Chains A and B, each alone.
Chain A
Amino acid sequence: MTDSLETSLALQKLREFDAEAVEDAREFRGEITLYIRKNRLRAACEFLRDSTELSFKYLSDVTAVDNYPLEPRFEAVYHLYSIEHGRRLRLKARLPGDDPRIDSMVPVWPAANAFEREVFDLFGIHFEGHPFLRRIMMPEDWEGHPLRKDYPTTGYR
């Protein structure tokens, strides 16, 4: 379903709920991306899940993007879906390259558990309050985070 910034119900409702939460909003190919301030993310997500008009009860995906060497370097990306209304929404939170930390969304959507572990493992982003934040793809004693852009891809480790 295509959506535009003017008609986006999620953006409008989220601004009503917390005027400070949305830092930036973009639209590309009918997909809405909302940049949320990272300390407001948990509350914003709870609102998006519980509001009957939005009801984003399904967390499709959690991932991250490394914008090295730009700062803020990381973006945590959340793809939400509302099964009742058939709408998608992308949330993003900007994180600094030095010690990236963000609240875990496991209390909001239990589905975030494995996805956040994957992001922690491959990007080194810490999810605060995650019940079991351990490496999931790489061996436990692995050094470095392979999906970071400055991770060496050639030569011996």
Chain B
Amino acid sequence: MPITLEKIPGQEERVILSLGPQHPSTHGVLRLVLELDGETVVRAIFDIGYLHTGFEKTFEHLTYSQGITLTDRMDYLAPLSNNLGYCLAIEKLLNLEAPPRAQWIRVLLTELTRIQSHLVWLGTHAIELGAMSVFLYCFREREEILRIFEHVSGQRMMTSYFRVGGLALEPPLGWLQRVEKFMKTFPARIDEYETLLTKNPIWLRRTVGVGTISGPDGIALGLSGPSLRASGVNWDIRKAQPYSSYEKFQFNVPTRTEGDVYARYLVRMDEMRESLKIVRQAVDGLPEGPIKANAPHIVLPDRESMKTSIEALIYHFKLVTEGFHPPIGEVYQTIESPRGEIGFYIVSDGSPKPWRCHVRAPSFGNLQTLIKIVEGRLLADVVACIASLDGVLGEIDR
């Protein structure tokens, strides 16, 4: 029996509407159960689990390195952010640090991921509120970022490019020029989106004052990321607890105080510009050097040394067949994903497979805000509210 809203005794009968899971505006398979009084939402609850694939259980049956491939598939719009969070968690467990070049490339790619993820959010958000052309423009630019990912990792979406202790491979020749080219064209493109939406009267009528949440309420409900920053809370994990050399980059954290759908839109638009600044600094200051940490018992050796050194061959064999043994302990590593705080909680029992790997998904935390902000709003606003929180069901259900 699917979840439904129970009737409150003594209250007159109201319409119960099931929105989703097969509904284009629910960004995957989110189901909302809404109690309507006319067109106004009185109560709402969410029903999830349609994409539950047991990632956390699967982690327990894979070695630490194999687990990286699962993180891509959770938040399929920000695969590299998830790779980074997972790798950093294991590196913390091992007390290992990636070399500077790897850290810089990680920052570069996660910021491109943020832009890419925000582009999908903007496109789908706009199309749901009736602005078709923005969607097509956004996907044009997103495609270019996906080609950059494909160029560097061989995959458009399921990249698994970050590895424990560094990167999988040195970026190919000509790749940075491609990033350069993208950076030249993109600022004008953001302006283009803004001319279509920011002062568009229809867009304003659909978003200003809709789905408002205050900062303290957002904190209490577990809201994080750009959605919380739109409510006046200046909290960005990149600044608060810097990881992967973020402390060496200059950027601003855009915040707004209104806390409505429009404020969340403006914050994400500004974030794309800030991300581009970080990408620019990462390309300009990219240090030379190795891309993998010097830890032969953890990091796979190069192809070249494997063929010339018996030691490298032994390490390779041990790492591939068995995996590495981290110390007994537990770590919780968070990073700022495009959607908010993504946390990896890993418990190690000293074996090559994690005893427990839990993912704190930002969309899952943000979902509780959704049912709060739709209450008392019109049914049509529910669609704007869902889109403004930018949930990805893959990571909600895991």
Contacts and interface: CB of A to CB of B under 8 A. Distances in A.
A88 B92 CA distance: 15
A60 B48 contact: no
A87 to B, nearest CB: 9
A67 to B, nearest CB: 8
B236 to A, nearest CB: 11
Contact of A31 (B52, B332, B398): B332
Interface in A34-71: 57-61, 63, 65-66
B286 interface: no
A109 B332 contact: no
B65 to A, nearest CB: 20
Contacts of A66: 356
A113 B221 CA distance: 9
Contacts of A31: 330-332
A20 to B, nearest CB: 24
Contact of A57 (B219, B241, B332): B219
Contact of B219 (A1, A83, A113): A83
A153 B60 CA distance: 11
B203 interface: no
A137 B397 contact: yes
Interface stretch (B154-162, B180-188, B361-369): B361-369
Interface stretch (A6-14, A96-104, A140-148): A140-148
B367 A146 contact: no
Given A60-B365, A110-B221, A138-B52, 19 more contacts: A29-B92, A29-B329, A31-B331, A57-B216, A57-B219, A61-B345, A61-B358, A65-B347, A77-B358, A79-B360, A86-B240, A86-B241, A88-B241, A110-B220, A114-B364, A115-B222, A118-B364, A135-B49, A147-B56
Nearest to B369: A111
Nearest to A140: B1
Interface string A67-83: 00000000001010001
A58 B348 CA distance: 26
A99 B45 CA distance: 28
Interface of A: 1, 28-29, 31, 33, 57-61, 63, 65-66, 77, 79, 83, 86, 88, 90, 109-111, 113-115, 118, 122, 132, 134-141, 146-147, 153
B220 A111 contact: yes
Given A29-B331, A113-B368, A83 B241 contact: no
Interface of B: 1-3, 45, 48-49, 52, 54, 56-57, 61, 92-93, 95, 216, 219-222, 233, 235, 240-241, 329-332, 334, 341, 343, 345, 347, 355-356, 358, 360, 364-365, 367-368, 397-398
A111 B370 CA distance: 12
Contacts of B49: 135-139
B365 A147 contact: no
6 contacts: A60-B222, A60-B334, A63-B345, A79-B332, A138-B52, A153-B61
Closest 6 A-B residue pairs measured CB to CB?
A111-B222, A61-B360, A137-B52, A137-B49, A28-B329, A63-B358
Given A28-B331, A111-B222, A146-B54, A79 B93 contact: no
Contacts of B52: 137-138
A111 B343 contact: no
A77 B355 CA distance: 14
A83 B220 CA distance: 12
Contacts of B343: 60-61, 79
A31 to B, nearest CB: 6
A6 to B, nearest CB: 19
A66 B347 CA distance: 11
B331 A1 contact: no
B355 A65 contact: yes
A28 B3 CA distance: 41
Contacts of B95: 29
A135 B2 CA distance: 10
A77 B233 CA distance: 26
A66 B334 CA distance: 22
A140 B219 CA distance: 30
Contacts of A146: 54, 57
A147 B330 CA distance: 18
Given A111-B220, A138-B49, A147-B57, A77 B329 contact: no
Contact of A88 (B1, B330, B332, B398): B332
Q: Which of A1, A137, A146 has the most CB of B within 10 A?
A: A137
B284 to A, nearest CB: 29
Contacts of A134: 3
